[in-house]
Amino acid sequence: MSTETETETVTPPSPLRYARVQSFVASSFFSKLAHLKLNEFKLDDSAIPLRAFISPADKLTRHHTNPIISLDFEAFVEWKSDEPNVLIDGEIINLNTLEEFRKYPKSDILKRAAEEIHKNIVELKDTRFQTINKFFILSFSDLKKYKFYYCVATPTLNSPWNIAGNADSEIVLLDPIDFNSLSKQEHFFQLVDNELHDINFFASDKGNTFVFIDTCLSPHKIPSIHVKNYLFLLAEHGFTQINLLVYRPRGENFGLKLQLDPSFERGSVPKFQGWERNVENQSIQKIADLAYSISPEKLAEQAVDLNLRLMKWRIAPTIDLDIISNQKVLILGSGTLGSYVSRALMAWGIKEITFVDNGRVSYSNPVRQPLFKFRDCFSDDGQGEWKALQAAQALTEIYPGVKSRGFNLQVPMIGHPITEEDKQRTNFETLSKLFDENDVIFLLMDSRESRWLPTLLGVAKNKTVINAALGFDSYLVMRHGSRNQSADTRLGCYYCNDVVAPTDSLSDRTLDQMCTVTRPGGALIASSLAVELLVSVLQDKDKELVSHDHVSDVGTSPHQIRGSLRNFSQSSLYVPNYKYCSACSDAVVEGYLKDGWTFIRECLNDAKYLEEVSGLAEVQRQADIASEELMKQMDELDLDDDELEFFV
């Protein structure tokens, strides 16, 4: 005979599950991160505070129901207290290399965060949402490709809560909570006598019901993972059975009866987790490639800016890049020197460059002048393109961020009398206006007399003037002095060594004199030195007034740099201002400031007039008198030819 024993089937407790949080990082966040990396963070990879907001998934996507941590450009600034979203504090660690990012011990971030949260819970220092829940981002910003690698973590502490059933119906059917009246800094409350309170651990017989404001939209009775740390807090402080009311402002409310598993040990170090995972429960690394969402022009601008900012990080932290990029530059001469100078200026971040020239592109130009191509040697009228106009166009093709203009005009030249006054006066007025509109002037023309008027305008208008000239195997780079310099430190100009006014050097020239016959490398060297001299001057606190021998943080700012390719030598020289200079003397400048074009016209028509105004004529007369007096003395001594030759 057999006996049948009936056994009661007991349903095992169902562990509480949670809806994982997802991250949504807007492109504006990465744009702001890139800006801060370049200008503030640099090589600093310490943790930077952030603040994000948690939104229901339906605000951002229709395909997910999990809550979303959202970050945009405002994540780096302090949020206003009246923001309509639930806020969450966090940090970002932005590493300097991709290798560092891939090998970074991610568990260390979680461990540090979990220990901090656990300490707050045990010591009851603060039960605000920002201290109970946090997020962390580990990232690497490839600013050359504008690609961002990142991982997001929301650290949570484990406590084994099981679902014992649904909460009492009267709890679930409470009148709708006015979500807008609640603090946006909180979304976990204790319910006592149908009123919400901050967590203060009322007696368990009255205060064992808790309300969680949830942003999850899951159709299942699964709360957001952000409730997990609060449940650990309750377990740690003696709660073993609670009612949890999950209130969803945008979804269906539900209530659960939860029971703490006896295996929980108060005071012990909890297990933790938190890195964002995919549907296969694998920790994921995300990549935001913004190169496709940003215009190529903007990418070029950021890349140029990046190369300059990198200099500040390790090599020249005191360099002022803004004062360089803010300069407006006028280049007189669009040939070999003008081409290379403009390219170097762009490399330094200068974005406003104006060319002046009256020549056309010839077949010999493209190989020596990098702004021109073979196709520029012929145009619709059968001649080459105008150099100034084509140079300006070429710069915009090289870098669209540059604002470049070209003016086809001939600079009125000393020693070349007026032949078409209306045209030449118009050219003069246009040139004068261009000087007013620009901060820095480069004199890069191919004749000596063409530099006289720009030299005069530069000193009269207090502009920074950089001059570069080439010989066959030599070069000169110099900066002109300023009238604002003291008498004992005022630097000379291009003409301060002359004892006569410039004259016509262009007429009746042979073929070799009409062409630029120089060693090709000299132009590159002189152009580079000219731009670097400007940069050095701009970095000094006195700018164009700095003396030739002063040493600043970036080095010296010499007056003249003379070099020779014959023996590969280079020297820094100083020439003081000459009080009778035909271009920068006070008398000449005052004559121009008083009479303008009338004065210029007289000088152009007659170089002797300029010599009289500047005082050179008197110097010559005094020299002639001294010479005659010397010869008279020689005659009185009745010296023979050999003795006379010795004195001469």
Provide the annotated active-site residues.
515
Q: How far apart are CA 92 and CA 32, in angstroms?
A: 13
Which region holds residue 381: left if phi is over 0, alpha if psi is between -120 and 50, else beta? alpha
Total residues found in the chain within this entry: 648
Are the beta carbons of 518 and 472 closer than 8 angstroms?
Answer: yes
Sorted by sequence, the CB contacts under 8 Å of residue 598 that are 6+ apart come out as: none
Mapping DSSP to helix (H, G, I), strand (E, B) and coil, where does residue 229 land?
Answer: helix
Q: What DSSP assignment string belongs to 512-562?
A: HHHS--S-HHHHHHHHHHHHHHHHHHHHSTTGGG--TT-EETTEE--SEEE
Sorted by sequence, the CB contacts under 8 Å of residue 201 that are 6+ apart come out as: 190, 207, 237
Are the beta carbons of 158 and 271 closer than 8 angstroms?
Answer: yes
Please give the helix or strand (H or E) that residue 628 lies within, else none: helix 616-637
Q: How far apart are CA 256 and CA 321, in angstroms?
A: 61
For residues 202-240, one letter each, b for 16 or more C-beta atoms within 10 angstroms of the residue's C-beta and e for the rest, the string is eeeeebbbbbbbbbbbbeeebbbbbbbbbbbbbbbeebe
Please give the helix or strand (H or E) that residue 336 lies within, else none: helix 336-347
Q: How far apart are CA 260 and CA 268, in angstroms?
A: 15
Are the beta carbons of 172 and 255 closer than 8 angstroms?
Answer: yes
Residue 15 burial by CB count (10 A; 0-12/13-18/19+): exposed, middle or buried? exposed
Please give the helix or strand (H or E) that residue 53 lies within, else none: strand 48-55
Q: Where are the beta strands (DSSP E) in 276-434?
A: 286-289, 328-332, 352-357, 403-408
Which whole-number Å values give the CA distances from 216 to 51, 108, 476, in the listed order?
Answer: 20, 28, 73
Are the beta carbons of 561 and 571 closer than 8 angstroms?
Answer: yes
Which parts of 356-451 fold into alpha helices (H)?
387-398, 421-437
Token pair 């500047």 is found at 614
Are the beta carbons of 283 and 145 closer than 8 angstroms?
Answer: no
Q: How far apart are CA 177 and CA 575, in angstroms?
A: 84
Q: How far apart are CA 302 and CA 293, in angstroms?
A: 14
Which of 56, 130, 129, 125 lies closest to 90 in space, CA to CA?
Answer: 130
Q: How far apart are CA 47 and CA 59, in angstroms?
A: 29
Q: How far apart are CA 147 and CA 139, in angstroms?
A: 11
Q: How far apart are CA 621 and CA 637, in angstroms?
A: 24
